[in-house]
Amino acid sequence: MDEFALIRRYFAQLTLDGEGVVLGIGDDAALLRPSSGCELVVTSDTLVAGRHFPDTTTPFDIGWKSLAVNLSDLAAMGARPRWCTLALTLPEADASWLDGFAAGFAALARVHRCALVGGDTTRGALSITITALGEVPAGRALRRDGARIGDAICVTGTLGDAALALRLGAAAVPELRARLDRPQPRIAAGLALRDIAHAALDLSDGLIGDLQHILDASGVGATLDVDALPMSPAFARLTTAGTRRADQLAGGDDYELCICLPEDTLDRARAALDVPLTRIGRIDAAPGLRLVDAQGHSITPSFTAYRHFS
């Protein structure tokens, strides 16, 4: 099977009709029609086998996750997904693997009405690069540079599940493994928070590293209560005192949203969301990120968030 037959068989049907696609898969490039009054939001991520997903990950889950991590970036900007492209590097055109990958990719794409409109295929070590495009009404995108002194710092969902699943490997229970293999991009939350939050980002490399991006962009500092970080029942049951904080603060792969918003909008924000929203800290005037426990005692971590090439 050559690359053109591969595209026709597994991916051409993922160009959805009536979704602003003037011309989809099959030409040199796609033609897209953005909605009137909207700005385009564009993000791109590459997933490499053995680095971004374990070698034992199923093809379905690889397909799902490769799109999910991009849609999570759109969620953090308060954008609605519209289109995506896929650049797929494969060691061989394995029909069974491609069936599973395409099914996982399609399952999430259909949930969020995200049309696949182009890309590329080539031979090499397994690697997946997706560019996702979304829309947001002009001037209303959530950004990293809007945090204000006195804002509450909140997170959606729970933290640490994926990191714990990765550490436990084959012993991970299904609830934890699902958080690692099939993260749920918080699109609805991003849309709901668009006119409430001052700043937001998605948590991919660990809370303390990702939050620092907001602090740097906004020129502020923060204090986090590490004992307020939300845990799932499975995480609470299986974590240990020695690893809980590292998994929740620096483990990565959460794909939850970290949000800065006025304290007096917390009830409104919680009522608007389809997932829990937990207050975990505050934005301060003093630069830097300070970690404290429930008693207010300062904590100095012995770990850092994930960084490529470090």
In the annotated binding site for Mg(2+), the residues are: 28, 43-45, 73, 120, 202, 205
Q: What angle do the packed helices 174-181 and 59-76 form, to 10 degrees?
A: 70
DSSP code of residue 13: G
* Residues placed in the known binding site for ATP: 119-120, 144, 204
With contact defined as beta carbons under 8 Å apart, do 285 and 149 qualify? yes
* Residues placed in the known binding site for substrate: 52, 253, 306
- Strands 277-284, 221-225: pairing is antiparallel
* Residues placed in the known binding site: 28, 43-45, 52, 73, 119-120, 144, 202, 204-205, 253, 306
Minimal CA–CA distance to 148: which of 266, 27, 261, 296?
A: 261
- Amino acid at the residue 84: C
β-partners of residue 85 are 118, 131
Report residue 72 as tokens: 């999570």
Longest dimension (CA), the chain: 63
Continuous segment of H or E residues that includes residue 178: helix 174-181
